[in-house]
Amino acid sequence: MKKQMKRTVCLLLAVLLLPFAVLSVGAEAVAISAPVDADTPAMELPCRAAILMDAKTGQVLFEQNADEALPPASVTKIMTLLLVMEAVDGGRIALSDPVTVSAHAASMGGSQVYLKEGETMTVEEMLKCVVIASANDCAVALAEHVAGSEEQFVRDMNARAAALGMTQTNFENTNGLDDTAVNHVTSARDIAIMSRALIAHEKILAYSGIWMDTVRDGSFGLTNTNRLVRFYRGCTGLKTGSTARAKFCISATAQRDGVSLIAVVMAADTRDGRNQIAAQLLDYGFANFCTFEAAAGELSRAVTGGVSSVCPLTYAPFAATVQKGASTRVETVIELPETLTAPIAAGETVGRVVYRLDGKEIGAVPIVAAECVEKIGFGTLFWRILQQFLLL
């Protein structure tokens, strides 16, 4: 009887220890941004540079000389606005904060709302002035309010540009005035990148979509420099700019039927020509593309050799730009082992969800562990063996 009991205990021990001899192999998954499977149109646009980007996915739908560093004029203010909105949403400043105008801010030329030294205006009023009327004086005043000085704010602008991967950008001021600038430049691609980051702060669209407004208790009128807001269906913004050196530039954002686009035009010869090119790019995007979206999800897998027998898993939502009508042909494939081996760290990638269109992979998201599952220790293992033995 004792020999039979020993054999049973040994057998149970061997079975329970077996998983510890197995190495854990986790599948690495990295989100993939596949190019849109569509023929690039044979468009030769009458401007120095241009790009069309899907705002949700970041995928480029058209580009022309998109990486040349060029003067952007007031389109510069997209980065200024981004840093201000990040300060607002981060709780460092409030829209209701009063901003006192410095002599330096009041001295700005070009498009302005004629701020006076010592005048106060709220952050929100100044944001409206910058977005709608492209006010250079308000751009400097906001920069000083956020960073203490325009010089520090410009350093922050360049640091943020680098963090966003804007490789062709160098800012020398907050507003794009280039009469004394030496190397104040960016590219069409970089403008699209910072535009995408800015419109992620949805409050900015409440300002950029306004055609006309007032400040100073209604005594000073503002009219949007972006005429597409009034004349192009679905236009939501974003920023225009023009100087003798930069010519006519724009970053135009628009949304229709769930598709959100960014069209950037640099160095067009005329204001109307710039607007027509932007509208042409947006028309092309809306006519030919749609956005495929998949929701986030949850899964679970059995675990061997762990203190828990099951590990909950999650994966993030996914979006990709595809040709119009193709979204119904996207297939979802789960690449995940049937069982996982402890230890498993929370957030560890264990598989991926792959999205394929007509057999071609268009993207993937990692499947990660929602909780950690520690490897079972000797004490816990012994207690389990004892429990099973006592139940015999």
239 is catalytic: no
* Token reading at 109: 């030329």
How many helices (H) does the chain have, and how many strands (E)?
11, 17
The one catalytic residue among 77, 128, 239, 247: 77
74 is catalytic: yes
The one catalytic residue among 74, 195, 208, 242: 74
Query: Do 179 and 185 form a contact (C-beta atoms < 8 A)?
Result: no
Coil, strand or helix at 229: helix
77 is catalytic: yes
Dist CA 254 CA 132 (whole Å): 16
Strand blocks (E) in the chain: 47-54, 60-64, 98-100, 120-122, 212-215, 220-223, 235-243, 247-256, 259-268, 289-294, 297-304, 310-315, 318-323, 330-335, 339-341, 349-357, 360-369
CA dihedral for 102, 104, 110, 114, sign (positive or negative): positive
Dist CA 336 CA 144 (whole Å): 52
Query: Do 301 and 340 form a contact (C-beta atoms < 8 A)?
Result: yes
Per DSSP, 327 falls in state: G
What DSSP assignment string belongs to 44-66?
--SEEEEEEEETTT--EEEEEST
**Amino acid at position 292, single letter:** F
Q: For residue 114, with 0-12 CB atoms within 10 Å meaning exposed, 13-18 middle and 19 or more buried, which class applies?
A: exposed
Query: Do 223 and 240 form a contact (C-beta atoms < 8 A)?
Result: no
Per DSSP, 228 falls in state: H
* Token reading at 81: 């606005």
**Strand 339-341 relative to strand 297-304: parallel, antiparallel, unpaired?**
parallel
User: Which of 319, 254, 327 is closest to 52 using CA atoms?
Assistant: 254
The one catalytic residue among 102, 111, 134, 260: 134
Q: Which residues are catalytic?
A: 74, 77, 134
